[in-house]
């Protein structure tokens, strides 16, 4: 949430008469909330209705694509006041720092491509009409006039529309390498130079229409490629925005709310229940339980008391804590994780796409062939004009247009197929990388499982015990208490009448039942022995403690996905920050032989990097803040739509539904898509083999060149549709 500020209202008259003091006017507060659980228009309506009904909220708008709510509120309203409102409405919410988010969310790149495509299309239609007149028999002064008009339309249109190709080609040539845009730019420039020369000399043929058509088709492919993926935002930016923007500093017994940026090592900071740790530190007073699921994936809250260490991003659940800061700002564990994610993400830019690999072979061959045609015809005819025309025809008819469409046409078709199955492709090379995967690494909590505890031992307890347990559970917001309350209520259990019910932070809930002390909570507090399974213990005086067992339910399609991936010959690995017993039990249930428990975020990333160094192509599937570094480090990555924003934007593919079974189909579709891309390259090559001799012997008029380009482009597009 932005810092509170005050401004001074001033008009020219006030400035002229400074002796009159201006009244400070409180500024509205901008609050940003991450909403990872929203998925449809009904969610948007519910969230906005709940927020707008809250006193102090002036306006609330939800962005479904970004899974984010932006709230304009009164100066005294805090994000911590709004998060419970949304939780009561059934939505998970996390505070974001608006100052850490990019200033604009406008889709500039998409609008820019669309504008260039529109200009190229409009110009090519007009120039084509003029060309038809020339082909129909216009000659002498009329033909020259049409050519000059075509030049007047083409030159500014190309200068504007083809800028992306010029920029990419120049970037490649500056570092002495070739990409697909180099032959494209050369073909466009040579077509323009040749056409201008022919027009100046009153020649019969000009390639203005071919240059514009080439630009239009290539821009169409570039725009298709752009639309197949969501706008890629930096995961590091989202991680930074999750850092708490304010904290309560305690100095000489006085509490003061300050910006986190002003905190120093050694400061005492009060973190109330429900608050997120603003810095790394050590607890100096208080006891509570910490939710570390976003950072470590642990399903159970962790007990914390004086002397325990905490990390930025962890959530304080039950009791107030005073911590002494040991790391602030860029030195916190959360900030270091953001830096590591940014570094890991940059590795993807080094991946060479199939199109660029083809360009390394294709571009030199085309250039050499065009140069040889020029030299051969100049030696044969002695006419540089004829030689240049034929060289241009060779370069145009070799059709970089078909090669430019080969990849985006297939990825668009494949992305459409996967979208209908509930998967959204974000990154331009994700499908190519997914086709190479031989190892799949799954996170546990929130990925293979739902991340929500479920009571499994309801039938093992007497009705009297259930009534007491329900009465105690209803007095706590602990995740296990919430799960117990839900299960008991659904079973028709009514709570017993208790007295003096209180929650002891970090331990559980206690009260008096028929004159006896009863407790529901941790094993040591109730006199029980700790086990591997997730358990809450009920202790009634005079009775042995009884265990309420909980498990994390499997996400739909998890078993099918793991089985299908193994049958496809891929190695499946489970890496989780959860306890050894919980991870082992899930691995055995799904038939996963290779598993790792109690893994920290850096452990996950290091294991993924180790697999990569061994030559494996790793697909990482995860959903939490603790997975972002591994997601960014993997060869390709997938996150569920329910994942935290930071994990979702670090991924190449987003799983829109709850079902995991489409993951195996995505791998199969990616392999087919890669096969179609290679086929498209071969189709373009075959067309070149047929068309190039016509150009070399001087039979390729501008009409033939345009027809060859269009035919090959249409064929490539039709072949791409086979992926669907």
Give the 3-state DSSP-derived string for 339-382, with helices as H, strands as E and coil as C.
HHHHHHHHHHHHCCCHHHHHHHHHHHHHHHHHHHHHHHHHHHHC
For residue 607, the domain's CATH number is 3.40.50.1000
Instruction: Answer yes or no: are the C-beta atoms of 424 and 653 closer than 8 Å.
Output: yes
Domain count, the chain: 5
617 occurs within a structural domain: yes
Q: How far is CA 229 from CA 427, 645, 649, in A?
A: 6, 16, 11
Listing DSSP states for 261-301 in one string gives: GG--TT-EEEE-TTPBP-SEEEEEE--EEEE-HHHH--SS-
Which one of 225, 291, 443, 578 is the catalytic residue? 443
Q: 10-residue block means of pLDDT along the chain (724 residues)?
A: 36 38 53 76 84 90 77 84 86 70 54 88 86 73 86 92 86 73 79 84 79 81 60 47 76 85 90 86 90 64 86 84 89 68 50 62 73 86 80 72 68 75 74 90 86 84 92 86 90 91 86 91 84 83 87 86 92 86 86 88 87 91 80 87 66 79 88 83 77 78 66 73 68
In a domain, 650, yes or no: yes
In this structure, are residues 314 and 292 in contact, taking their beta carbons and an 8 Å threshold? yes
| Domain region containing 614 | 413-450+554-670
Question: Does residue 336 belong to any structural domain of this protein?
Answer: no
Domain boundary among 506, 525, 553: 553
Same domain, 446 and 579: yes
According to DSSP, the residues that pair with 546 across neighbouring strands are: 538
Closest among 461, 513, 508 to 488, alpha carbons compared: 461
DSSP state of 627: G
Residue 91 forms part of a structural domain: yes
**Could you say which of 43, 62, 96 is where a domain stops?**
96
Residues 116 and 226 in one domain: yes
Residue 499 inside a domain? The answer is yes
Computed from CA positions of residues 648, 649, 655, 660, in that sequence, does the dihedral angle turn out positive or negative? negative
User: Same domain, yes or no, for 509 and 636?
Assistant: no
Do both 321 and 383 map to the same domain? no
Q: Is the pTM for the entire model greater than 0.85?
A: no
643 DSSP 8-state letter: S
* Same domain (yes/no): 708, 620: no
**443 part of the active site:** yes
How many other C-beta atoms are found inside a 10 Å radius of the C-beta of residue 15?
A: 9
In angstroms, the CA 467 to CA 489 distance is 10
Percent helix, strand, coil in the chain, to 5, is 50, 20, 30
pLDDT score recorded for residue 417:
78
Give all strands of the β-sheet with 315-316 in edge-to-edge order: 302-304, 288-291, 315-316
140 shares a domain with 266? no
Do 558 and 437 fall into the same domain?
A: yes
pLDDT confidence of residue 371: 83
Three-state secondary structure call for residue 680: helix
pLDDT of residue 562: 93
Do both 433 and 467 map to the same domain? no
Residue 165 lies in a domain: yes
Residue 239, both tokens: 């991680």
Flag whether 1 is in a domain.
Answer: no
Name the region of 415 (left: φ>0; alpha: ψ -120 to 50; beta: rest): alpha
Can you give the pLDDT at residue 511? Answer: 93
- Say yes or no: 220 and 182 in one domain: yes
DSSP 394-422: HHHHT-HHHHHHHHHHHHHHHHHHHHHTT
Q: Do 572 and 663 have their domain in common?
A: yes
What are 316's strand-pairing partners? Answer: 290
Which residue, 96, 131, 157, sits at the end of a domain? 96
Whether residues 318 and 462 fall in one domain: no
Q: Do 300 and 282 touch, CB atoms closer than 8 A?
A: no
Residues 540 and 466 in one domain: yes
Residue 239 lies in a domain: no
Domain with residue 325: its CATH number is 2.70.150.10
Residue 72 pairs in a beta bridge with: 30, 59
């Amino acid at each position: 949430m932005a810092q509170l500020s005050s401004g001074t209202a001033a008009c020219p008259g006030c400035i002229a008469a400074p002796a009159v003091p201006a009244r400070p006017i409180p500024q509205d507060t901008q609050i940003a909330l991450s909403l990872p659980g929203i998925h449809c228009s009904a969610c948007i309506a519910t969230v906005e209705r709940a927020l707008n009904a809250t006193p102090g909220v002036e306006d609330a708008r939800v962005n479904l694509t970004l899974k984010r709510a932006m709230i304009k509120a009164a100066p005294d309203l805090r994000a911590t006041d709004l998060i419970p409102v949304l939780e009561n409405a059934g939505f998970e919410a996390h505070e974001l720092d608006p100052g850490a988010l990019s200033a604009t969310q406008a889709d500039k790149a998409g609008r820019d491509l669309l504008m260039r495509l529109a200009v190229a299309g409009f110009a090519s239609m007009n120039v084509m009409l003029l060309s038809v007149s020339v082909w129909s028999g216009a000659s002498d002064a009329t033909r020259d006039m049409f050519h000059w008009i075509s030049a007047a339309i083409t030159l500014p249109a190309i200068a504007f529309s083809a800028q992306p190709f010029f920029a990419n080609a120049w970037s490649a040539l500056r570092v002495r390498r070739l990409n697909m845009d180099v032959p494209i730019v050369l073909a466009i420039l040579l077509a323009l130079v040749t056409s201008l020369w022919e027009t100046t000399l009153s020649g019969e043929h000009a390639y203005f229409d071919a240059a514009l058509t080439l630009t239009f088709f290539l821009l169409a492919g570039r725009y298709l490629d752009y639309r197949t993926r969501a706008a890629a935002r930096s995961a590091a930016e989202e991680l930074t925005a999750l850092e708490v923007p304010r904290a309560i500093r305690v100095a000489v017994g006085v509490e003061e709310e300050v910006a986190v940026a002003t905190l120093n090592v050694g400061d005492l900071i009060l973190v109330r229940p429900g608050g997120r740790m603003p810095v790394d530190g050590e607890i100096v007073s208080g006891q509570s339980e910490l939710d570390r699921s976003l950072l470590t994936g642990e399903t159970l809250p962790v007990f914390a008391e004086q002397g325990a260490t905490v990390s930025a991003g962890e959530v304080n659940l039950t009791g107030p804590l005073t911590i002494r800061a040991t790391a602030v700002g860029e030195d916190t564990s959360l900030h270091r994780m953001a830096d590591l994610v940014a570094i890991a993400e940059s590795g993807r830019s080094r991946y060479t796409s199939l199109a660029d690999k083809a360009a390394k072979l294709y571009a030199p061959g085309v250039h050499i062939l065009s140069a040889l045609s020029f030299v051969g015809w100049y030696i044969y005819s002695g006419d540089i004009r004829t030689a240049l025309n034929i060289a241009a025809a060779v370069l145009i008819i070799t059709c970089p247009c078909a090669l430019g469409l080969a990849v985006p046409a297939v990825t668009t078709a494949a992305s459409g197929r996967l979208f209908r199955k509930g998967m959204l492709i974000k990154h331009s090379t994700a499908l190519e990388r997914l086709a190479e995967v031989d190892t799949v690494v799954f996170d546990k909590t929130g990925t293979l499982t739902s991340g929500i505890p479920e009571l499994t031992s309801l039938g093992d307890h007497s009705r009297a015990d259930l009534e007491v347990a329900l009465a105690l559970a209803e007095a706590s917001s602990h995740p296990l208490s919430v799960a117990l309350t839900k299960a008991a209520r659904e079973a028709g259990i009514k709570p017993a009448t208790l007295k003096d019910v209180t929650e002891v932070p970090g331990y559980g809930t206690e009260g008096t039942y028929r004159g006896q002390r009863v407790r529901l909570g941790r094993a040591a507090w109730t006199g029980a022995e700790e086990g591997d399974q997730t358990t809450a213990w009920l202790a009634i005086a005079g009775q042995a403690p009884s265990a309420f067992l909980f498990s994390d339910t499997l996400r739909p399609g998890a078993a099918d996905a793991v089985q299908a991936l193994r049958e496809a010959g891929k190695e499946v690995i489970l890496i989780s920050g959860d306890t050894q017993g919980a991870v082992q039990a899930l691995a055995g249930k799904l038939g996963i032989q290779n598993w790792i428990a109690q893994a920290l975020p850096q452990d996950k990333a290091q294991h993924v990097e180790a697999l990569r160094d061994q030559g494996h192509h790793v697909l990482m599937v995860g959903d939490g803040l603790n997975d972002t570094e591994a997601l960014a480090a993997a060869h390709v990555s997938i996150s569920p739509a329910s994942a935290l924003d930071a994990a979702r934007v670090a991924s190449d593919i987003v799983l829109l539904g709850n079902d995991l079974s489409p993951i195996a189909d995505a791998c199969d579709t990616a392999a087919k898509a890669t096969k179609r891309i290679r086929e498209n390259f071969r189709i373009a090559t075959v067309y070149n083999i047929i068309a190039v001799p016509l150009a070399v012997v001087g039979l390729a008029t501008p009409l033939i060149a345009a027809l060859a380009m269009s035919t090959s482009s249409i064929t490539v597009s039709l072949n791409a549709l086979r992926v669907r």
